[in-house]
Structure 1
Amino acid sequence: MPELTPLIFAVSVISGIFWSIGQMNQLSSVAFLGVSKAVPLSTGMQLVSTTLFGVMVFKEWQTMTVL
C-alpha cells in the first residue's frame, strides 16, 4: 500500500480545491452562456491548455519535426 505523507495529502487537497473551483466555474458558464457556447469553449481551452502544459512542463516536443 502506498505511503500517505503530509506532502502528498496537502497536494491532493490543493488539487481538489482547484478542481472544485474549475467545476463551479464551468457549470456557471453553462448557465451564463448556454450549452452551445460554453461546451465548445471549455473543450477547446482544455485541449490547448493541456497541450501547452505538456510542451512546457514535460518537454514533449523537442523539435518541430515531431509535429
Structure 2
Amino acid sequence: MLGEKRTVAIYDGLDRVHVWDVPLRRTVGDPLVGHTGKINRIAFSPDGRFLASGSDDRSVRLYALVH
C-alpha cells in the first residue's frame, strides 16, 4: 500500500512531486503536478490512498494515489 514505509514522496524543485517505491527503486506512476510555486509540505493520508501537498503558490493539492 502506498504511504506505508515502502514509499516516499519527493519534491523535485520543478513544482512536481514524485512517489518512489523504495524496495523496488523506482517511481510509482507519473509525477504529481499542479503547483506553480515551491512545494514546502507533503503528507500521506493515514490509509496511504492520498497525498496532500502545500505550496508557496498558496494552494493545497490532494492527489488520489493509484495502487
Q: TM-score range by the shorter chain?
A: under 0.3
TM-score (norm 2): 0.21
TM-score (norm 1): 0.21
Identify, as 1 or 2, the structure richer in strand. 2
The structure whose Rg is larger is: 1
